[in-house]
Each structure stands twice: as C-alpha cells, then as structure tokens.
Amino acid sequence: MKNVLTIIKKEFVRFFTDRRMVLMIFLPGILIYAIYSLMGNFMSEMGQPDIDKDYVPTAYIIGLPEGLSVEGVFKIKSYENSEAAKTDIYDSKLDIMVVFPADFKENYAGETKPEVKVYYNSASAQSAFGYSVAIALLNELNAFKINSDVSEKFDLVNSESLAADILSMIIPMLMFSLLASSCMAVAPESIAGEKERGTMATLLITPVKRAEIVLGKIISLSCFAMLSGFSSFIGVILSLPKLSGGVFNLSSMSYGVGDYFMLFGLIISIVLAMISVFSVLSTLAKNVKEASMFITPLMIVIIVLGMCTTFIKSSSVAIHLIPFLGSGLAMSGILSAAASPVGVALAIISNLVFTAALTVLMAFMFKNENIMLKK
C-alpha cells in the first residue's frame, strides 16, 4: 500500500505543478455555464414531442352548448366533479377539461362574450395538443372569451415532474460527455506520455510492483477526472434555469438524501470505468497522439450511450448491467424521480467489476515489455 501511495503522490505532484492541467479542472465548467446560459437566452419555450396525426385527445366537458358537436374531435370522459378531472390532468391521465358558462344562452345574445375555461397540462404533449385543438375550435366560433380570468390557473402543469423530465434527458448526456472529456484529458498524458518521455522505463525498473503502479495511476487519474467532472456538473446545474428558458425552478425539486448518494455512487463508478478503459488504450499506445487516436472513437460511443438513455425505455433491471448504458439509465431514473435502487446497484456493481477487470488487464500489460517499451 505504501508504494501505491507513492505513485499517487507522484501523479498529484506532476498534475498540480502543471498549470495547464489544473486549468483543465475548472475550464469545462466555466465554458458549459457560459455556452448554455447564452443558448438559454434565445430559448423562449420548450419544444413538444411529435404527436400521432391520428391522435384524438381525451376531454371532460362541462355545460356543452346545444348545437355544438365535438364528436370525432375529442374522446369524452366522465367525472363526478371538476376537481377529480383537474387531478387527472395534473397526473397526465386526462388531456383537457373544458368548462362552458352556465348562463351561456343568456350571455350569447349580449354584447359581452361568455368565458370558456380550458384546463390543460403543458408538460404533456397530448394535453398541449388537446389544448391547441380546443382553442382552434373555439376561435372558429368567435363567440367566446377563452381563459380570460387572470386570477385562475389553467395550466395544471406539475412543475417538479417537468423539471425532473428535463433533467433526466439533459444531465446523463452532458455528464457522460464531460466525464469522458475529463478522463481523456488526463489518461493519455499519464501513461502514453510517460512512455513518450522515457520516464516509464525508469519507473518500471524500480522495486515497486507493476500492479501497484497500475493501481496508483488508476486512483490518481480518477481523482483528477472527478475534480473536472464536478466542476463541469456545477456549471451545468447553474446554467439549467437559463437553458430551459425559465420553464422551471430548480428549487422546486424534491430529491432525497438517498437520491444524492445513489447519484454520487454512479458518478464515482462511471469515472472509474472510463478512466480504466482509457488507461488500457493509453497503455497500448506509443505516444500521446496515438493514445488520443485510440480513445476518441470510444469516447464518441460512450457519449452516444449517454444520449440513448432518452430513448430507451425498458422494464428489465438486467439492462443496468451493461457498462455505461446501464449507468446512464440509472442516472436518468434518479433524476426523473423514478429510480430503481436495484437497477442503480446493478449499474454500480457492473462498473466496479468492469474497472477491476480492466485493472487486472493493465497489470498484465505492464508486465509485457513489448507493450511498455515499444518505440
């Protein structure tokens, strides 16, 4: 263990005495905050996913006037009272509720148009579509005022659910990108860089076991990548309110202590897995340039896996055993408040086993003189 600590100390001294490497810790977070905040200033609203052109919204209609038919436009659903309907709109079980005035016939003949109230949930694509259909239908009649009571809330959006959905889509992709970039910034220099400079040969002839050298490098490199990853993560969190165009307030989120522990465990295990696989490729390379060439395609694959978490919906927890993909799905589940503790545990275990296997592989590679001393 003493030799491992010596290797870690050596790596820390090398890293923190290089101003360029230290700058790499904080620069990603600063850039992310600046870029995404700027993007947020041009975003006025969040886009809704596409709706099937044949989709018919469900609606609860109160006081539908005689002569006004909505057959084929809406699927009518019945409720005992309006509060039950509002609850279902909030929970995305009902698309819209339309309330016509009780004195419609009397007001229709007067100068003042009667008010029609349309309740919807802007976080639901189906509800937003139903709302647009209802507004278009009412505007054609040109006989109503719509949602004119400013004291009443007609958009029954669940702000916490909306925020969680946005976070679950954005954060996994960004975190994979940021952590992969951080690992790529330090892994080639630590191993292939030492081979290129000739210091690796000197290190290998010391009394330190090569397995201890490998372990020391893996631990120190993980620490560096974690620092940069957390810096980037903070930049993302700070920029999210602007990036989302002010759609939600992060203060409304209600994650528990367990969620933060699971997220922290995932980040740690992801960094270990990334730094391990990048270190293996760096060990195979003769110099930093070659290591970067080896790592770049894999880095792209990892980022794509982070993006896939937005589209993959599986009820099987076994999918969490797939390295990186399972971690992305687990992270997405935590952020969307639908985490499976078993899935998170499987993802962490999978990453740790993957890391252990690659560490053992690196130990064997360090014993191979053809790999370690090739020019």
pLDDT score at 50: 55
Q: Name the more confident of 207 and 327.
A: 327
Indicate the SS3 state at residue 145. Answer: strand
- Is the model's pLDDT at 65 over the cut of 70? yes
pLDDT score at 44: 38
Mean pLDDT of 12-18: 72
Contacts of 234 (CB under 8 A, 6+ apart): 29
Q: Which of 27-31, 48-52, 223-227 has the lowest mean pLDDT?
A: 48-52
pTM above 0.85, yes or no: no
Q: Name the more confident of 274 and 150.
A: 274
pLDDT score at 246: 47
Q: Name the more confident of 31 and 134.
A: 134
Mean pLDDT (the chain, rounded): 78
pLDDT score at 43: 44
> pLDDT grade, residue 202 (50/70/90)?
confident
pLDDT score at 353: 94
Mean pLDDT of 23-44: 58
User: Domains in the chain, ordered, with CATH?
Assistant: 2-43+159-372 (no CATH), 58-146 (3.40.190)
Residue 323 CA to residue 330 CA, distance in Å, equals 11
153-184: per-residue pLDDT in tens? 888 876 556 666 666 777 788 778 878 887 88
Mean pLDDT of 281-295: 88
296-345: per-residue pLDDT in tens? 888 888 888 877 776 776 667 888 898 888 888 888 888 776 778 898 99
Percent of the chain with pLDDT over 90: 8
Distances (CA, A) of 78 to 24, 56, 61, 75, 282: 59, 16, 8, 10, 64
- Is the model's pLDDT at 349 over the cut of 90? yes
pLDDT score at 229: 66
pLDDT score at 42: 47
Q: Name the more confident of 135 and 27.
A: 135
Residue 88 CA to residue 110 CA, distance in Å, equals 35
Integer-rounded Cα Rg, in Å, for the chain is 28
Distances (CA, A) of 214 to 209, 239, 262, 315: 9, 37, 27, 38
Residue of 327, 310, 334 whose CA lies nearest to 273? 327
Contacts of 206 (CB under 8 A, 6+ apart): none
Mean pLDDT of 133-138: 86
155: β partners: 120
* Range from 64-73, 160-169, 190-199, 308-317 that averages highest in pLDDT: 190-199
Residue 145 CA to residue 165 CA, distance in Å, equals 33
Residue of 221, 274, 168 whose CA lies nearest to 7? 221
Residue 157 CA to residue 356 CA, distance in Å, equals 45
Token pair 């977070």 in the structure block, residue = 29
pLDDT score at 371: 82
> pLDDT grade, residue 48 (50/70/90)?
very low
pLDDT score at 45: 41
